[in-house]
Chains A and B, each alone.
Chain A
Amino acid sequence: MAKLNLKSIKKSTRDQFITIAMVIVVYIIVQILVATGSMSSLMQGLLVPMCTYSIVAIGLNLCVGYLGELSIGHAGFMCVGAFSSAFVTKLLEGTITNGIVLFLIALCAGVLMAALFGFLIGIPVLRLRGDYLAIVTLAFGEIIKNVINVLYIAKDTDGFHFAISNGNAIKLSDEGMWLINGAKGIVKIPHLSSFTAGVILILIALLIVYNLVNSRSGRAIMAIRDNRIAAESVGINITKFKLMAFTISAAIAGAGGVLYAHNLSTVTATPANFGYNMSIMILVFVVLGGMGSFRGSIIAAVLLTLLPEVLRGLADYRMLIYSIVLIAMMLFNWAPKCIEWRQKLGVKFRRNAKKEAV
């Protein structure tokens, strides 16, 4: 049994090892399937979104599972990552021809911008707790979306042109190019995302979060989650560690946004892609996969992205099922009757196991 062999290793290391191995194994299997042509083009089209959602779910899980604060504005950070990276790509498209270098620069830009926004938003937001924090993250997500929709940036031989809310104010020369065109967003983004890039980003994100949660800082973050007052009284700097977790969480969501933007040729800030619904969908991945389990987040993101495509008839009911999953998971975990029932079931199982052993 693999479990016995791994028992000698520390539990957290084992957990990390299994997750990373799982991602790599899935990657190899998918590559074999693609190479042998046994994967439909529809499924291949889903590979990058799966990676995107996994990455954002890892980011949100850090915030919800370890920091213990609910953010329903993570789609906003995704949006920042997507737009700033696509902006950089459009800008440098002519000068840098190597796709990988271009993607790396765009990635850095997207992640840094998302981290910056996470940091700036985190400073005021993290003074709040619980319901207030959730609603303010939601408000920030909406503000980011609103502002991007009225932002016009263009470039021509005269240099850059900026306008807010009135795109007609910009008079472009013939060879001019729109970088961000208000509600029309950014168009003609080069297709730089790939499944390989997505998997590499997942692995990097996993390494970052696992290292963080198993470090001294990670333990401080969990202490704040479990008992804020006790943590404060043993000298943990609450603001610093909350801000740290929130910023990293936002940066990872931004990386997801980068992947998202470079998989589509057009990126717009509509409620459908960066709105409340996207934030909720990511939250469903985190809750279903288990708060605090990064492996669970990835599995849930992959399964829930695949399910509606595999079961076409269910596509209309997808969102309804998501909401029922959210409610059912919470009731299952917390309702007194469910807890009682689970304990009874646990006793039964143990008894059966004992009988078999005898």
Chain B
Amino acid sequence: MNFLSYLINGISLGSVYAIIALGYTMVYGIAKMLNFAHGDVIMIGCYVTFLAMSGQGIHPLAAVIISIVVCTLLGIAVEKIAYKPLRRATPLAVLITAIGVSYFLQNAALLLFGADTKSFSSVVTLPALKLADGALTISGTTIVTIAACIVIMVALMLFIKKTKAGQAMLAVSEDKDAAQLMGVNVNATISLTFAIGSGLAAIAGVLFCSAYPTLTPYTGSMPGIKAFTAAVFGGIGSIPGALIGGILLGIIEILGRAYISSQLSDAIVFAVLIVVLLVKPTGILGKQIHEKV
């Protein structure tokens, strides 16, 4: 029974990673850049929800919606100010800028919200599910997290397959210049990608903080990096890959923490990243891209 409960916790944590990984994978697919600041958008989303809930006494659901709106705007603003001017720059310059943005968000949060740890109260009020005569308890947060992940995945796949904007995203990620020639508004599409990714980050942040209720300005960076690991694991650029990678990584982390060492769980996750990159750099569902001279 212990193993089963670890497994469910792992899937729950993995669902959060999967939602965050979507943001990385979509942005990477379209803008060909690693948005280092994605993890810190999560943290901002958590703070907005926290302040709205505890400071203003707003209903949790409304607080989550406010946080999604704020994060979406933040994502668009970051893209317009910091990344858009660098679209033709070397990858090194873009990467350094992204690290700068990440660092900026962390330290701005540190000044705005203070360094003290806030205890985040769960937004989920669903009662825990008891199975097998109480031997296995699944918390409400876990159920909502897994359900949210499934809903988001399905919605996103439908959005990309069925809508014009989704098709435009596919076209831009395939070939930016050709898409432009076909009348796709490339700038608007990239902005839309950042907006969706950041909005999802807000949801992921709220779910993450509901499960692990300590909130500091550095809350976002670790899940951010791990979610990137998940995106790479599943194959960067692939949406189902983000789901598979995220859930596998969540399970590995929780099982590693339970059976190997709780202090080494981060090291285990990063070791997975390194092994994946060495054995199959394109990830589980990634496409092999050959470099042209």
Contact = CB atoms under 8 A, between A and B. Distances in A.
A320 B107 contact: yes
10 tightest Cβ-Cβ pairs between the two chains A and B: A326-B100, A335-B85, A139-B270, A334-B89, A323-B104, A323-B103, A131-B34, A327-B100, A146-B267, A320-B107
Given A64-B92, A68-B92, A320 B111 contact: yes
Given A139-B270, A326-B103, A165 B92 contact: no
Contact of B273 (A135, A164, A287, A320): A135
A130 B267 contact: no
Contacts of A138: 225
Contacts of A283: 96, 99
Contact of B278 (A124, A146, A317): A124
A15 interface: no
Nearest to A327: B100
A229 B293 contact: yes
Given A320-B104, A330-B96, A334-B85, A136 B277 contact: yes
Contacts of A229: 291, 293
B104 A336 contact: no
A33 interface: no
B288 interface: no
Given A135-B34, A326-B103, A140 B274 contact: yes
B281 A330 contact: no
Given A124-B274, A128-B277, A320-B108, A337 B85 contact: yes
B108 A336 contact: no
B258 interface: no
A134 B88 contact: no
Interface string A311-328: 000001101101111110
Interface in A315-356: 316-317, 319-320, 322-327, 330-331, 333-338
Interface string B66-108: 0000000000000000100110111111111101111110111
A327 B291 contact: no
B225 A134 contact: no
Main SS class of interface, B: helix
A338 B33 CA distance: 21
A127 B93 CA distance: 21
Interface string B198-233: 000000000000000000001001000100110010
B271 interface: yes
Nearest to A138: B225
B9 to A, nearest CB: 21
A323 B103 CA distance: 6
Interface of B: 33-34, 82, 85-86, 88-97, 99-104, 106-108, 110-111, 218, 221, 225, 228-229, 232, 261, 263-264, 266-267, 270-271, 273-274, 277-278, 281, 291, 293
A45 B229 CA distance: 40
Contacts of B264: 146-147, 150, 165
Nearest to B269: A139
- For A125, A128, A132, A337, the residue with the greatest tally of chain B CB atoms inside 10 Å of its CB is A132
Nearest to B228: A135
Interface string A238-271: 0000000000000000000000000000000001
Nearest to A330: B97
9 contacts: A70-B95, A128-B281, A132-B232, A142-B270, A165-B261, A271-B218, A319-B106, A334-B88, A337-B85
Contacts of B266: 142-143, 146
A27 interface: no
Nearest to A322: B103
Contacts of B101: 323, 327
- For B82, B90, B96, B107, the residue with the greatest tally of chain A CB atoms inside 10 Å of its CB is B96
A334 B86 contact: yes
User: How many A residues touch the partner, as a band?
Assistant: 35 or more
A131 B261 contact: no
Nearest to B263: A150
Contacts of A132: 232, 277, 281
- For A72, A135, A146, A147, the residue with the greatest tally of chain B CB atoms inside 10 Å of its CB is A135
Contacts of B94: 330
Contact of A131 (B82, B91, B106): B91
Interface in A284-309: 287
A280 interface: yes
A135 B86 contact: no
A309 B95 CA distance: 29
B107 A131 contact: no
Given A135-B34, A323-B100, A335-B85, 15 more contacts: A127-B278, A127-B281, A134-B34, A146-B263, A150-B263, A229-B291, A271-B218, A280-B103, A319-B110, A324-B104, A325-B100, A330-B86, A330-B94, A333-B89, A338-B85
Contact of A147 (B92, B108, B267): B267
A319 B229 CA distance: 26
Contacts of A142: 266-267, 270
- For A124, A125, A134, A338, the residue with the greatest tally of chain B CB atoms inside 10 Å of its CB is A134
A276 interface: yes
A54 interface: no
Contacts of A326: 96-97, 99-100, 103
Contacts of A322: 103, 107
Contacts of B86: 330-331, 334-335
A181 interface: no
